[in-house]
Amino acid sequence: MGVQLLLEHLNKPEINTIDGYIKQGGYRTLDKVLGKMTPDEVTEEVKTAGLRGRGGAGFPTGMKWSFLDKSTDKPRYLLCNADESEPGTFKDRLLMEKIPHLLIEGMIVSSYALGCRTSYIYIRGEYMFILRILEKAIKEAYAKGFLGENIKGSGYSLDLYVHPGAGAYICGEETALIESLEGKRGNPRIKPPFPAVSGLWGCPTIVNNVESIAAVVPILNMGGSEYAKIGIGRSTGTKLISASGNINKPGVYEIELGLPVEEFIYSDEYCGGIKGGLDIKACVPGGSSVPILPKSLLFKESNGNPRLMSYESLSEGGFETGSMLGSGGFIVYDEKQCIVKNTWTFARFYHHESCGQCSPCREGTIWLDKVLYNIEHGLGKESDIDLLWDIQHGIEGNTICPLGDAAAWPVAAAIRHFRHEFEYHVKYPHRVKDDDHVYQPEMNYTTA
């Protein structure tokens, strides 16, 4: 196992309590930062560390912070995006459930860097049990004087609240999250203005993922330049990967960025290989919205170099030959899995979760769902494959928020890399009527 910055103390006793957390060196950054460093110096450390947004987009966190509009006297807000709801992504859950104080410590120092007096953790409604864990942790932090007025005599004050969502995936989109937090329907806002200028209640706002905020703690503990040494190239530090699918050891792993994909899948330290000794067919490396990669492109980049777990390597060659690191939702498919069925599952999800604001997404996601259903259930036509392509093409880049892209990419990639499976479904409808059918042309299906 490589360097562990976030999950180092995962299995330490009582790490979920403030005392257990402090025993492992928790809340050290408060003494180091509050009143000792200027907010800009903290931001500078994060910039030096090269930390990139862990929610999926990979935007440099320090740069995002520097966009915060400091020219007004309006209050500023830091919102922690804990609305983790994408199929295949469950890393923030582990972090919050097991080591809640790491997030709270991160919130305190990040809020200090941004000059926030009040900050919020917006948590997925289905994570209600974690909300209670966080609230208990916050209460402990208040009791220790780590939150509230004049934290540790530094003169800095912060109030921290946890706010639950109500079951909408779209509220993980930062502007929809803001709308929801304001008590409105979670529809994304048009940009500009960006939240850094006009976010929560029209005030300058930064929205960061749980893991990004948690990563600020080790960055400040070890120094930005030390953190930057971990990882590879512009992919610095460690990343939580939630591995699932047909592997022997599903779970959340903290990896050093730059780990070869092959090692991650086959090493016993991580996924431990494919279940049942089957061959691997494909992998969705960054959560349900990123393009699926077939085995042929999974271990090697198109130029022959080994494919690494990093922002750059996973997206090598664009969507033609690459995918994205995304949120780290790593889903592995063995040779027996049906790509059409899997694509339909994802399409169904995005159809269900589209807010319905933009025409291409509202109307497009239902048709992706309907057409994929037809193909999957042996009701498809040859022309439906091109129709699917047209629909996803009409959605991609043509919506207010990235949910449209997220709905389009998996379909596009599935058709790009597995068109033959779609054609098989259309050509042999009777062979795919069974719900548990497996696409394997060489297997000699008997007529159903």
Partner 1 sequence: MTNNISPKIAYINGDPFALQEGETILSFVRRHTTYDRVPTLCDAPNLEPFGSCRVCSVEVGLKEDGPYKTQASCHTPALAGSYIVTDSQKIQHLRKNIVELVVTDHPLDCDHCDANNNCELQTVAKRLGVTDARYPEGRNHFDALPDTSHPYMRSDLSKCINCYRCIRACDEVQGELVLSMAGRAFDATVIKGNNVSFFDSDCVSCGACAQACPTSAITDIFDSKSNDFEKKVRTTCTYCGVGCNLEVAVKDGKVKSIQAPYDAEVNQGHTCLKGRYAFSFYNHQDRITSPMIRRNGELESVSWDEAYQYIAGKLTEIKNNYGPNAIAGISSARCTNEENYLMQKFIRAVIGTNNIDCCARVCHSPTALGMQKSFGTGAATNSIEELVDADCVMIIGANPTEAHPVTGAKLKQHAMKGKLTIVIDPRRTTLAQYATYHLALRPGTNVALLNMMLYYIITEGLEDKAFIENRTAGYQEFKEQILALDMDEMEAITHVEKSLVKKAAVAYASSKNAMSFHGLGVTEHSYGTYAVMLISDLAMITGNLGRRATGVNPLRGQNNVQGAADMGCQPYQGAGYLNAYDPEINKKYELAYKTPIPIDEGLKISEMFEASIEGKLKALWLMGEDVVQSDPNTNKVIKAMESLDLLIVQEIFITETAKYADVILPGATFLEKSGTFTNGERRVQRVNKVVEPLPGTKPDGQIISEIMNVMGYSQNDYDPADMLDEISKIVPFFAGITWENLGKNGKQWPVKTDGTDTKILHGETFPLGKGRFNFVDFAESTELLDNEKDYPYILTTNRNLEHYNAGTMTRRTNNVHIITEDVLLINPLDAANHLIHDGDLVCIESARGKVDIKAKVTDEVRPGILSSTFHFPEVMLNIITSDVSDVEASCPEYKIVACNIRKSKGKYKTLNH
Which C-beta is closer to partner 1: that of 160 or that of 168? 168
Burial of 434 (0-12, 13-18, 19+ CB in 10 A): exposed
CB of 87 to partner 1, least distance (A): 16
Nearer to partner 1, 188 or 245 (CB): 188
Distance in Å, CB of 429 to partner 1, minimum: 15
What minimum distance in Å lies between the beta carbon of 41 and partner 1? 34
Between 170 and 181, name the residue whose CB sits nearer to partner 1: 170
Judged by CB, which is closer to partner 1: 225, or 383?
Answer: 383
- Minimum CB distance to partner 1, residue 55 (Å): 21
Identity of residue 254: E
Q: Which is nearer to partner 1, 295 or 370 (CB)?
A: 370
Which of 299, 389 has the CB closer to partner 1? 389
Residues that bind partner 1 in the complex, under the rule CB under 8 A: 168, 170, 185, 187, 190, 192, 351-367, 370-371, 374, 383, 387, 390-391, 393-394, 397-400
Shortest distance, position 222 Cβ to partner 1, whole Å: 39
Q: How far is the CB of 176 from partner 1 (least distance, A)?
A: 11
SS (H, E, C) the chain: CCCCCCCCCCCCCCCCCHHHHHHCCCCHHHHHHCCCCCHHHHHHHHHHHCCECCCCCCCEHHHHHHCCCCCCCCCCEEEEEECCCCCCCCHHHHHHHHCHHHHHHHHHHHHHHHCCCEEEEEECHHHHHHHHHHHHHHHHHHHCCCCECCHHHCCCCEEEEEEECCCCHHHHCHHHHHHHHCCCCCCCCCCCCCCCCCCHHHCCEEEEEHHHHHHHHHHHHHCHHHHHHCEECCEECEEEEEEEECECCCEEEEEECCEEHHHHHHCCCCCCCEHHHCCEEEEEECECCCCCEEHHHHCECCCCCECEECHHHHCCCHHHHCCCCCCCEEEEEECCCCHHHHHHHHHHHHHHHCCCCCHHHHHHHHHHHHHHHHHHCCCCCHHHHHHHHHHHHHHCCCCCCCHHHHHHHHHHHHHHHHHHHHHHHHHCHHHHCCCCCCCCCCCCCCCC
Q: Which is nearer to partner 1, 72 or 150 (CB)?
A: 72
Nearer Cβ to partner 1, position 26 or 404?
A: 404
Nearer to partner 1, 148 or 356 (CB): 356
* Smallest separation, CB 309 to partner 1 (Å): 29
Closest separation in Å from C-beta 78 to partner 1: 22
Least Cβ distance, residue 114 to partner 1 (angstroms) = 23
Which has the closest alpha carbon to 377: 328, 421, 306, 431? 431
The least distance separating partner 1 from the CB of residue 409, rounded to whole angstroms, comes to: 16
Q: Which is nearer to partner 1, 233 or 318 (CB)?
A: 318
